[in-house]
Amino acid sequence: MSGITQGQAIFLIITFLFMVGSMAGWVIELLFRRFISSKNPSRKWINPGFLTGPCLPLYGFGLIALFVMSLLPYIGNMEGDIGNVMVIWAIIIMGIAMTLIELIAGLIFIKGMKIKLWDYSGEFMNLGGIICLKFSLIWTALAAFYYFFIQKYIIALVDWFSKNIAFTFVVGMFYGIMSIDLAYTFKIVGKVRRFAVDNEIVVKYEMLKQEIRRDTDRMKQKGRFLLALHTEGKLAEKMEQSLETIKFVKEKQKKEKK
């Protein structure tokens, strides 16, 4: 990247990786929910994640972490052979990093927004339904897949981006659209948070979207793929009707009420 400092180049690469990871992650989750997830028995197309548009920031941060950590085995050994032990440790660290990103994101939404974006409560060795052993192993397996099969393409993509600085215009458009999406989503989610606080619960975000989708199906209306939280009546009334389905109350809270 000629004409810019090294710090600016690193910043641009990070923003580029975040965009690629966020959009690719959205596609992965979209296909997972459509064809694999047991929580979608009707096999409908469900817009995944928190935002309205095709963007999952969790995967954006994840790709940045994977890209940086996949280079760990090469640090201080750029010309030598990379040992198998170093590769294994790098993959383990990547799996742990992805789990930590998932934990931090989950806690931020539960504590700050009273929203549970996903729920692993039924999984073996889960922590608050936010992370669990099963998905930590899946993250580690994906990290290995990334290291052996995807990393070279990401490096090539970053190299292409560094030679085509004009593409930053597209990256800028992505962040502009995402900013508008964030403003719209937080306006809607503010209503969900007020309802959750009033009822002393944490709302299961995916279950709420599914309940609204079922309503549109029952009324033989076309389900909204992007505006998944848009309902014909008031959102608060819909949440009140679906309270038992969408609420998540910690076991500790249940015992205290008893």
Q: State the average pLDDT over residues 195-201.
A: 93
Coil vs helix vs strand at 231? coil
Cβ atoms 212, 238 nearer than 8 A = yes
CB 156 within 8 A of CB 164: no
Q: What is the mean pLDDT of the chain?
A: 86
Q: Whole-angstrom Cα distance, residue 122 to residue 35?
A: 20
Residue 148 Cα to chain centre, angstroms: 23
Provide the pLDDT for residue 171.
96
Question: Which residue's structure tokens are 């090469």?
Answer: 74
CA–CA distance, 115 with 189 (Å, rounded to integer): 9
| pLDDT tens, residue by residue, 164-184 | 989 999 999 999 999 999 999
Structure tokens at 52: 């309205």
Task: Judge contact between 249 and 116, C-beta under 8 A.
Answer: no
For the record, the structure tokens of 133 come out as 């052993």
| pLDDT band of 248, cuts 50, 70, 90 | confident
Task: State pTM to two decimals.
Answer: 0.85
Q: Are 98 and 62 in contact (CB under 8 A)?
A: yes
Give residue 126's pLDDT: 96
Per-residue pLDDT of 114-127, as tens digits, reads: 999 999 998 999 99
